[in-house]
Structure 1
Amino acid sequence: MRMMRVSTILTLLLSGVLVACSSATQYQAAEKRGGYGYTETQLGKDRYRITFTGNSVTDKETVSDYALLRAAELTLQEGYDWFRLVARDNESKSRTSTSISGVNDFGGTRVYQRCGLLSCDTVVYDSPTRLSGGVASSTTRTSYQSSIEIKLGNDPMPDDAEAYDAQELASTLRRWMGQRDN
């Protein structure tokens, strides 16, 4: 009975970890530069660079919207009415992982490919076991990052397609995100 309770608790903990790993990046400050969420860097009195980094479950559009939302919030926080996009850069990073299953024999050399975010390495070593047949399967995951540079301003707002009313944009994006999350 006690062993079954421990097994159930371990199963629930593992399920919780898997669910946490498979959910989209939340709108939040990143714990560190390069982490998931937003970061901001002041470039001048009224200029900032904002970057939002999402995980492989967060789609490209959401990452871009979160960067714009942070720009709108920062604009209001700094006492300005509007911001203008000066530069925009969107990146994607793909990671492919391959797993091989099959029958092992004794003796031989083992070769496999280890892939990270930016590159893959081929590893070769002598092993007491050798894969003598099997099936390889690959999974590719893509994550997105959006960086924008903004210039803040007060009324009058320029008549420019790259200028945004911070209050209006923040309200619109929050409403849209709330509808999407429900």
Structure 2
Amino acid sequence: MRPRSNFHSFAVFAVVAFLGACASTPTYTPAARQGGAGYSEQRIESNRYTVTYRASGSANAQLLEDYALLRAADLAIANGSEWFWVDRRTLDDGNSSYGGPSVGIGVGGGSWGGRSGGSVGVGINIPIGNGGAQQARSATLDIRFGEGPKPDDANAYDARETAANLRSRLPG
């Protein structure tokens, strides 16, 4: 039996990594079940909704918020509104811990066979790999539909224009 070459092993690893990355990229689809990946909404009042876009794992936070905005625009259009207002935005990263660099100190000791010893260790953690983009598991928007002229405010969105712009640049 012939041994595998390093190139062959690398090629297999590269294909698996590529397929894994493709599989984890969120797309604009409805959630198949409550709490599943995709968009979902909950009606609060006739003109108020909570819209959530959830990824299957951690993903680019801006992409998740854009998908939630797209769903908000689609809901506004479906409800006959020309614009919508975002009252609140929430990103959930899956934990509340700090994701930046950190330093840890550990102290240990023990004995074995009548001998004892101690140690002190210092560790440094510097997160790498996400290109500086904020990661999240979900983005949630509290929205309400508006009537009449759209306010000139950063939280007010023209539903048709927002949907067209986001669809032109988002995957899936």
TM-score by length of 2: 0.62
State the match for 1:175 in structure 2: 168
Matched with 2:78 is: 77
Q: How many residues align?
A: 123
1:162, 1:46 → 2: CA distance?
A: 16
- 1: CA distance, partners of 2:89 / 2:149: 23
Give the C-alpha shift of residue 22 in structure 1.
3.4
| Structure 1 residue 145 corresponds to structure 2 residue 138 | yes
Gaps of 5+ in 1: 1-14, 95-139
> Cα deviations across residues 88-137 of structure 1 (Å, max 9, x unaligned)?
1111026xxxxxxxxxxxxxxxxxxxxxxxxxxxxxxxxxxxxxxxxxxx
2:151 matched to which residue of 1? 158
- Structure 1 stretch displaced more, 29-38 or 57-66: 57-66
Q: What is the correspondence of 1:58-69 to structure 2 with a 5 Å cutoff?
A: 58-69=59-70
- Kept after mapping to 2: 8 A contact 1:24/1:57: no
Q: Which runs of 4+ in 1 moved over 3 A?
A: 18-22, 140-143
- The percent of aligned pairs where both chains have the same amino acid is 36
TM superposition shift of 1:158: 1.5
- Which is richer in strand? 1
Deviations 1:24-45 (A, max 9, x none): 1211110112100011000001
- Look up the equivalent residue of 2:153 and give its one-letter code: D
Structure 1 residues 157 and 23, CA, compared in 2 at 3 Å: closer, same or farther? Answer: same
Deviation at 1:20, TM superposition (A): 8.4
**Distance in 2 between residues matched to 1:57 and 1:42, nearest whole Å:** 26
Q: Which residue of 1 aligns with 2:25?
A: 24
Distance, in Å, in 2 between the alignment partners of 1:148 and 1:177 is 18
| Deviation by residue 1:140-163 (Cα, 9 ceiling, x = unmatched) | 996421011101012211122200
Q: What is the root-mean-square deviation in Å for CA atoms of aligned residues?
A: 3.0
- The 5 A counterparts of 1:43-122 are 43-56=44-57, 58-93=59-94
AA in 2 matched with 1:161: A
Q: Which amino acid aligns with 2:140?
A: S
